[in-house]
A and B are shown apart, each in its own frame.
Chain A
Amino acid sequence: MRERTRELAGTLVFPLAGLALIAGIILLGGKSPAQGFAALISGSLGGAFALAETAIRACPLLLAGLGVTVAFRAGVWNIGAEGQIYIGALAVVALAPALGMLPAPLAVPAALLVAAAAGGVWAWVPAFLRTRRGVQEVISTIMLNFIAIQLVSWCVHGPLKESTGQFPYSNEIPAALMLPRLLPPTRLHLGVVFALAAVAVVWVFLFRTLRGFQLRAVGASPEAALHAGIRTERSVWSAMAISGALAGIAGAVQLMGVSHILFEKFSPGYGYTAIAAALLGGLHPVGVTLSAGLLGALEAGASAMQREAGVSTVIVYLVQGVIILSVAHQAARRRAVTEAIRQRGAQEV
């Protein structure tokens, strides 16, 4: 009982300290913390409009977070969701004229396929480098993020510049590629449905298919997987490809559902926040859904907080930072416990 209480205290101490810290900072800025937090909550949860905003902001985080989940479960540290998001969106924009000529019911699936393929191929590069050249994917995926971001920047300044040639962004995608709004006048779009469908697909894949099991086995213990005849290289390849494909779809959904044009800084770090969402969700599809929702709510609420309480949106990144730290703290505690059990086992032997 005492241990349970202590555990609970350990879980809560970080978030509570974080909230106190944030309240203090808002106060230092000469604003009211209460007003700030109230705006944060009403802007993310108060009413249909706020909820829709939360959902559409959660959408790319969820899709990319599921991708990160698949990779991390396989023991592949894909930090490259950000770049894969850009590449997915870029592929759709590049092929938009052709895709737009397809009949409407085919155009959207075709565009998602294109984005998935592009993200998958982009992610396949670090998988190749890791399995064939021993390059750590943590480094190669980050490097590829820079390349992807610069590539998009060059494209929107060059070959994909809008038709008048004045502004550094792409043409608006054809109407056939725009995701229908579900609840006008809110911006809630069909992509949210795709994201929730992806949750189910990823869950089934990870926990109800042999390939998904093999992938998790490789992530949990490459040596045990090897002795069980599982081809570890193939697992790394497929995990990366799936991970990149999901991130690519995240980029496409953001493009087709919200922005409709591609521009520099198209993603304000969705790919990195997705890592937080994946870890915060315990690398479980349902958990990631909840954490993406939470992070989406924070982003939606941040705008309201700035509008109504005059508190800078930067505060929200502080909140995110605190959440991520507390998750890391929890994970470290769990690892320590597991390790202790293992050592006790080893001692018995």
Chain B
Amino acid sequence: MQRNAEILAALLQLKDITRDFGTVRALDGVCFEAAAGEVHALLGENGAGKTTLMNVAFGFVRPDCGEIVFDGRRYTAMTPQVAMAAGIGMVHQHFKLVEEFTVAENVALGSSDYREALRPSDRSRLKSIIRATGLEVDPSAVVEDLPVGLRQRVEILKALFRGSRLLILDEPTAVLTPRETEDLFRVLLRLREQGTGIVLITHKLDEALSLSDRVTVLRNGKTVLSRPAAEVTQAEVASAMVGRELDSGARDLPTPQEDILLEARGLSSPETGQQPAQEISFALRAGEILGIAGVEGNGQTALADLLAGVLAPASGSLLLAGRDVSREGVAGRLRAGLAHIPGDRQTQALLLEFPLRENLLLGRWPLGEFLRGPFLDVGALSLSTREAIEAYGIRGATVQTPAMSLSGGNQQRFVVARQMGAKPRVIVAVNPTRGLDVGAIEYVHARLVEHCERGGAVVLISTDLDEVLALSHRILVLYRGRVAAEYPRGARREDVGLAMATGRAA
């Protein structure tokens, strides 16, 4: 799929871009070029500056110094409006669509040709774009009825309709099923043939290398690698990203023992307005990691809440080491030996404005270890917090540091440290590495495996299929709230992906 990056005319040139956020230098003299008819992958760990760099190109962030040249013109004050008018389109990670509007109405928003898109009889240009690119979507469909993959198409259509010749996509595959990802790539390749320049911000090495013509890696705000994709190996790029060699994907897992630690018997969640989980049954042995795969929105949240005790089951029961804990809440289950790592660390696991010391208390108060009568034992609390900070390598933090000022990776390390510190037998982890960089992912995975080696068990609910495949003894696929298929370790990625997308085992 790769083409040799010949001398293509540079469409976008960023020259010596530097930008500070407070005392942090987010970008340090970065140069970047994107050409027409080329897919350029921009890789890097979290906080490496990839999104910031593209936000500079799109005018969201003004550089402290450096130069932006697009299509031969130099821009001193780039704004999103100017960028769009010049022909730069950006598809953000979080879509910016009006959900109540139709596809055509969303496309019309912010376009000078809005009338053309709005009138059903007069949509020839929109339709021809759809035909030419393969971005199949019904212009009259209302966005809130569309699945994520199609919403993304609407975002791309919006950009193309405005006449974008350079398309910047920020982590476009993070929310897609394997099938949707393939469709997206087909569209991108077609756009490339038609001469559109594409910048792909991504974490995922394999897709970056299979799809792109050129690869640029940022680390700590600096370019550490920029070469044609054909000339680099996956290992080279990975070590460029983290600055060291990594151990490869699949891990050695301990052999599970005989005794069952956690058993779900026909668990169903009550109606809460989101996709409920229905009749979930499984038995989890000591030393075992059970992966729950599925496309986002297939009942993961409900299942996680049922297991953690946030939701009381409508029917069914949950046994922890033989004891029925169905009626216990989060606190009771933690006391019984079940800890959970919620899916959204910023809103569910942490009090952002509170110091780490109190965030430790948030996750551990039911154990009563920090109480002296009715009062808090602040000394013991500080001690445990300091231990967690040191043991988990959360650099630069003290017990008084607010959770808000930690990076995403360190926030998650702290949450994992906190829950591990409760010495649970079973851990329910929901998307425990979402949005983390390679180093932090590796770290969290290692802790979960370690927990199993010590005879604990883990339920890993994750929408990242690679994570589930790499880490689970067994995989259950969740589809519309039910367990649709079960796979042993070593199952083929394609098979699990198909079950995720269709709800049927291959």
Contact = CB atoms under 8 A, between A and B. Distances in A.
Contacts of A7: none
Given A228-B363, A349-B408, A217 B309 contact: no
Interface in A171-205: 204
A53 B329 CA distance: 52
Interface in B109-137: none
Interface string B344-366: 00111111111000100111011
B375 A228 contact: no
B444 to A, nearest CB: 15
Nearest to A220: B351
Contact of A348 (B94, B361, B405, B407): B407
Interface in B304-357: 308-310, 329-334, 340, 342, 346-354
A225 to B, nearest CB: 8
B46 interface: yes
Interface residues of A, number: 29
Interface centre among A211, A217, A220, A349 (most CB of B within 10 A): A349
Given A229-B309, A229-B331, A208 B376 contact: yes
Contacts of B405: 341
Interface in A290-349: 338, 341-342, 344-349
Interface residues of B, number: 45
Contact of B51 (A204, A214, A229, A347): A347
B265 interface: no
B374 A210 contact: yes
A348 B366 contact: no
Nearest to A211: B374
A210 B310 contact: no
Contact of B366 (A211, A229, A342): A229
B365 A210 contact: yes
B434 interface: yes
Contacts of B93: 349
Contacts of A344: 21
A299 B347 CA distance: 43
Contacts of B358: 213, 217
Contacts of A346: 94, 346
The majority secondary structure among interface residues of chain A is helix
Contacts of B435: 348-349
A199 to B, nearest CB: 17
Contacts of B10: none
B404 interface: yes
Query: A220, A223, A227, A345 — which one has the most chain B CB atoms within 10 A of its CB?
Result: A227
Nearest to A347: B51
B371 A210 contact: yes
B378 interface: yes
Nearest to B370: A210
B47 interface: yes
B16 to A, nearest CB: 23
Given A220-B354, A227-B308, A229-B334, A209 B408 contact: no
B330 A229 contact: yes
Given A214-B365, A338-B404, A347-B51, A209 B374 contact: yes
A325 B71 CA distance: 49
A310 to B, nearest CB: 48
B148 to A, nearest CB: 17
A101 interface: no
A210 B63 CA distance: 46
A227 B344 CA distance: 10
Nearest to B435: A349
Given A220-B353, A228-B330, A349 B371 contact: no
Given A213-B365, A348-B407, A224 B21 contact: no
Contact of A209 (B46, B334, B376): B376
A221 interface: yes
Given A227-B310, A349-B46, A209 B375 contact: yes
A129 interface: no
A143 interface: no
A204 B366 CA distance: 20
B47 A345 contact: no
Contacts of B332: 229
Contact of A342 (B309, B352, B407): B352
Contacts of A209: 374-376
7 contacts: A208-B376, A208-B378, A210-B361, A224-B349, A229-B366, A338-B353, A348-B408
The 9 closest A-B pairs by CB, nearest first: A229-B330, A349-B435, A229-B331, A227-B348, A220-B351, A228-B362, A227-B342, A223-B347, A229-B329
